[in-house]
Amino acid sequence: MLTNWLYVGLFIIVALVLPAVTIIVPRFIAPKKPNRIKVDVYECGIETVGEAWVQFKVQYYIFALVFLVFDIETVFLYPWAVAFDKLPLFAVMEGVLFIALLLAGLVYLWRKGVLEWA
Protein backbone atom coordinates (compact mmCIF):
# COMPACT_ATOMS: atom_id res chain seq x y z
CA MET A 1 0.00 0.00 0.00
CA LEU A 2 2.64 2.50 1.02
CA THR A 3 4.88 1.63 -1.94
CA ASN A 4 2.03 2.69 -4.21
CA TRP A 5 2.11 6.09 -2.58
CA LEU A 6 5.87 6.20 -2.79
CA TYR A 7 5.46 5.92 -6.56
CA VAL A 8 3.02 8.85 -6.49
CA GLY A 9 5.38 10.94 -4.39
CA LEU A 10 8.39 10.19 -6.57
CA PHE A 11 6.37 10.80 -9.72
CA ILE A 12 5.48 14.27 -8.43
CA ILE A 13 9.19 15.00 -7.97
CA VAL A 14 10.11 13.64 -11.41
CA ALA A 15 7.24 15.59 -12.97
CA LEU A 16 8.63 18.78 -11.42
CA VAL A 17 11.78 18.41 -13.51
CA LEU A 18 9.96 19.10 -16.76
CA PRO A 19 8.62 22.61 -15.98
CA ALA A 20 11.78 23.43 -14.02
CA VAL A 21 13.97 22.72 -17.04
CA THR A 22 11.62 24.70 -19.25
CA ILE A 23 11.94 27.68 -16.93
CA ILE A 24 15.70 27.46 -16.42
CA VAL A 25 17.01 26.71 -19.95
CA PRO A 26 15.77 29.94 -21.62
CA ARG A 27 17.52 31.90 -18.87
CA PHE A 28 20.82 31.05 -20.52
CA ILE A 29 19.93 31.16 -24.19
CA ALA A 30 17.11 33.68 -24.51
CA PRO A 31 18.03 37.31 -25.21
CA LYS A 32 17.46 39.80 -22.42
CA LYS A 33 17.11 43.44 -23.42
CA PRO A 34 14.21 44.88 -21.47
CA ASN A 35 13.30 48.52 -21.72
CA ARG A 36 10.66 50.59 -20.00
CA ILE A 37 8.08 50.40 -22.75
CA LYS A 38 8.60 46.70 -23.38
CA VAL A 39 7.94 45.65 -19.81
CA ASP A 40 5.08 48.08 -19.25
CA VAL A 41 1.67 46.71 -18.26
CA TYR A 42 0.05 45.39 -21.43
CA GLU A 43 -3.35 46.85 -22.07
CA CYS A 44 -3.39 46.78 -25.87
CA GLY A 45 -1.24 49.89 -26.16
CA ILE A 46 -3.34 52.10 -23.95
CA GLU A 47 -1.56 53.48 -20.92
CA THR A 48 -2.79 51.83 -17.76
CA VAL A 49 -4.84 53.81 -15.28
CA GLY A 50 -4.73 53.13 -11.56
CA GLU A 51 -3.89 49.81 -9.93
CA ALA A 52 -4.56 46.33 -11.20
CA TRP A 53 -5.88 45.20 -7.85
CA VAL A 54 -9.34 46.56 -8.07
CA GLN A 55 -12.20 45.58 -5.82
CA PHE A 56 -14.06 42.73 -7.45
CA LYS A 57 -17.52 41.34 -7.06
CA VAL A 58 -18.43 39.78 -3.74
CA GLN A 59 -20.04 36.96 -5.71
CA TYR A 60 -16.69 35.28 -6.27
CA TYR A 61 -16.43 34.89 -2.52
CA ILE A 62 -20.01 33.71 -2.10
CA PHE A 63 -19.61 31.04 -4.78
CA ALA A 64 -16.44 29.83 -3.11
CA LEU A 65 -18.32 29.67 0.20
CA VAL A 66 -21.16 27.62 -1.26
CA PHE A 67 -18.65 25.42 -3.09
CA LEU A 68 -16.89 24.65 0.17
CA VAL A 69 -20.07 23.28 1.76
CA PHE A 70 -21.02 21.16 -1.26
CA ASP A 71 -17.46 19.92 -1.62
CA ILE A 72 -17.39 18.57 1.93
CA GLU A 73 -20.74 16.86 1.41
CA THR A 74 -19.58 15.29 -1.85
CA VAL A 75 -16.53 13.87 -0.11
CA PHE A 76 -18.81 12.16 2.41
CA LEU A 77 -20.62 10.44 -0.44
CA TYR A 78 -17.51 8.75 -1.86
CA PRO A 79 -17.08 6.03 0.79
CA TRP A 80 -20.82 5.46 0.71
CA ALA A 81 -20.64 4.90 -3.05
CA VAL A 82 -17.74 2.45 -2.68
CA ALA A 83 -19.61 0.37 -0.12
CA PHE A 84 -22.90 0.75 -1.99
CA ASP A 85 -23.62 -2.77 -3.29
CA LYS A 86 -22.83 -4.36 0.06
CA LEU A 87 -25.18 -2.07 2.00
CA PRO A 88 -28.60 -2.97 3.41
CA LEU A 89 -31.61 -0.97 2.17
CA PHE A 90 -31.68 1.12 5.34
CA ALA A 91 -28.11 2.30 4.78
CA VAL A 92 -28.83 3.10 1.15
CA MET A 93 -31.75 5.25 2.25
CA GLU A 94 -29.42 7.11 4.63
CA GLY A 95 -27.28 8.09 1.69
CA VAL A 96 -30.33 9.09 -0.35
CA LEU A 97 -31.50 11.26 2.57
CA PHE A 98 -28.06 12.87 2.58
CA ILE A 99 -28.38 13.70 -1.13
CA ALA A 100 -31.89 15.06 -0.53
CA LEU A 101 -30.49 17.44 2.10
CA LEU A 102 -27.88 18.59 -0.41
CA LEU A 103 -30.64 19.26 -2.95
CA ALA A 104 -32.61 21.16 -0.31
CA GLY A 105 -29.62 23.42 0.26
CA LEU A 106 -29.36 24.01 -3.47
CA VAL A 107 -33.06 24.86 -3.69
CA TYR A 108 -32.63 27.37 -0.85
CA LEU A 109 -29.76 29.08 -2.67
CA TRP A 110 -31.71 29.12 -5.90
CA ARG A 111 -34.81 30.67 -4.33
CA LYS A 112 -32.70 33.20 -2.47
CA GLY A 113 -31.17 34.33 -5.77
CA VAL A 114 -27.59 33.57 -4.71
CA LEU A 115 -26.97 31.60 -7.90
CA GLU A 116 -27.71 34.61 -10.13
CA TRP A 117 -24.52 36.12 -11.53
CA ALA A 118 -25.88 39.63 -11.99
Partner 1 sequence: MTGLEFVFVLIAALTLFSAVMVVTTPNMVRAALWLILALFGVAGTFVLLNAAFLAVVQVVVYIGAIAVLMIFAIMLTRKVMKDSGPQTNSTWGLAALIAAALFGGLTFALTRSPAATLMAPDFSTVSDPVAELGRALVSPQAYVIPFEVASVLLLAAMIGAIYVAWKK
Partner 2 sequence: MDTALLIEWLIKSVILLFFGLTGFAYLTLLERRALARIQVRIGPNRAGPWGLLQPLADGIKLIFKEELIPPLADKPLFILSPILTVLPALIIWAVIPWGRQIVIAGREINLYLTDINVGVLYLTAVASIAVYGITLAGWSSNNKYALLGGLRSSAQMVSYELALGLAFLGPIMLAGSMSLVDIVEAQKNLWFVVPQFLGFIIFLLAGLAEVNRAPFDMPEAEQELTAGYHTEYSGMKFALFFMAEYIKMIAISAIAATLFLGGYRLPFIDLPPILDPVVLFIKIFVLVFGMIWVRATLPRLRYDRLMALGWKVLLPLALVNVFITAVIMVFTG
User: According to CB under 8 A, which one of 38, 58, 111, 113 is a site residue for partner 2?
Assistant: 38
Write each residue from 32 to 71 as x if it is in contact with partner 1 (CB under 8 A), else as -, in one continuous string. Answer: -------------------x-x-xx-x-xxx-xxxxxx-x
Burial class (CB in 10 A: 0-12, 13-18, 19+), 18: exposed
Query: Do 80 and 22 touch, CB atoms closer than 8 A?
Result: no
CB 58 within 8 A of CB 64: no
- Among candidates 71, 70, 76, which has minimal Cα distance to 105? 70
CB under 5 to 8 A by kind: which of partner 1, partner 2, none does 22 bind?
A: partner 2
Smallest distance, partner 1 to C-beta of residue 98, A: 5
Nearer to partner 1, 5 or 42 (CB): 5
- Specify the residue, 28 or 56, whose C-beta has the smaller distance to partner 1: 56
Tell me: does residue 11 bind partner 2 (CB under 8 A).
Answer: yes
Residue 88 main-chain phi, psi, to 5 deg: -70, 165
